[in-house]
Amino acid sequence: MSDTFNAIVFDNVDDVKKGRLTELSAADLTDEKVHVDVSYSTVNYKDGLALSEHSQVPIIQKPPLIGGIDLAGTVTESSDSRWQAGDRVLVNGYGLSERHHGGYAQKAHINPDFLIRVPDAISLEQAMAIGTAGYTAMLCVLAIEDHGVKPEDGKVLVTGASGGVGTVAISLLSSLGYDVVASSGRVAENGDFLKGLGASELIERDALSRDSKPVEKETWAAVVDCVGGKTLATAIAQTQYAGIVTMCGLTGGSTIQTTVIPFILRAVRLAGIDSVMAPLDLRQRAWDRLAEILDLNKLAEIYSIEPLAKVPELTDKILQGKVKGRIVIDVNA
């Protein structure tokens, strides 16, 4: 077998961020206790931001770095007693493609503390079809459940519905019996798809992405917000008494203008959701629950598989809001 392997390296070339397909060897990787043959990674909005000149938060902190914020594969070597050759593992976040080499490579050396065991019920391909976006959707749903919101309490809004977090959130919430309303800028194009995943109602992006009053008609028992900006402010103003807004994304902007009114008059809870440094027990809980409740037939509708070489093109496309559902990267194709 060849000593070299393929990788997409994210770099700053003449002050321009670029992703390029290249060949590396094991000596190019950092020295970590667990070695993994990577099968799949994915393209997330954050992978797009990593190559964007407009990102407010620098993502690649130590260029050049192998890109890709997540990966799934099989352990080939381990000097950590928790992991053995043959174990099926995945990594979400933990600074992959920020401070550590990421998943866009056929091989990875990983800190054992970052690894999650892939649940038996799902394949490596399905694990990455879920990926960081789907696991983040699960973190949002867990926050909603932990807050005590039940299906009979009212409608749940999902914004940025056609994307990775949105599609998995709709599938999960509808499987749990929630009445899901999907907000999308692509209702005409993706409406049937979103209804097929379990949305009972669709609303246009513009209905929320506007200036809002401090409080508006109480409409949502809970919200999964992937968009931020004016959309988030309007969603907060429309959340019913003691409801919860889970906030994970910024595709519509990172600035929010709201007031204290929904929080002090309606006891609305605003819950920030972070997948990158979430503690291990929460991650494991999220993955175990995904394996338990995610409808794998619906998951099959959500994703497509693309080869490693297409990553730079796909990171552009996701920033333009042109991706539907999830993109799995087959690093060996």
Q: Is 249 in the site for ligand NDP (CB under 6 A)?
A: yes
- Point out which span in 150-158, 238-246, 305-313, 316-324 binds ligand NDP (CB under 6 A): 316-324
3-class DSSP state of 25:
strand
Provide the mask over 21-50, with x wherever binding to ligand NDP is found by CB under 6 A and - wherever it is not: -----------------------xxx----
Residues 87 to 146: which contact ligand NDP by CB under 6 A? 132-133, 136
- Point out which span in 164-172, 216-224, 261-269, 282-290 binds ligand NDP (CB under 6 A): 164-172
Shortest distance, CB of residue 25 to ligand NDP, whole angstroms? 31
Shortest distance, CB of residue 252 to ligand NDP, whole angstroms? 3
Residue-by-residue DSSP string for 224-245: EESS-HHHHHHHHHTEEEEEEE
Q: Is 206 in the site for ligand NDP (CB under 6 A)?
A: no
Token pair 């020295």: residue: 31
Helices (H) then strands (E): counts for the chain: 9, 16
Q: Which amino acid is at 295?
A: D
Q: Which of 6, 275, 303, 329 binds ligand NDP (CB under 6 A)?
A: 275
- Produce one character per residue of 127-159: b if its CB has 16 or more CB atoms within 10 Å, e if not: bbbbbbbbbbbbbbbbbbeebebeeebbbbbbb
Q: Is 186 in the site for ligand NDP (CB under 6 A)?
A: yes
| Contact of 125 with 277, CB cutoff 8 Å | no
Q: Which of 59, 72, 235, 248 binds ligand NDP (CB under 6 A)?
A: 248
Residue 71's nearest CA partner among 89, 46, 85, 45 is: 89
The contact set with ligand NDP (CB under 6 A) reads 44-46, 132-133, 136, 160-166, 184-186, 205, 209, 226-227, 248-252, 273-276, 318, 321, 323
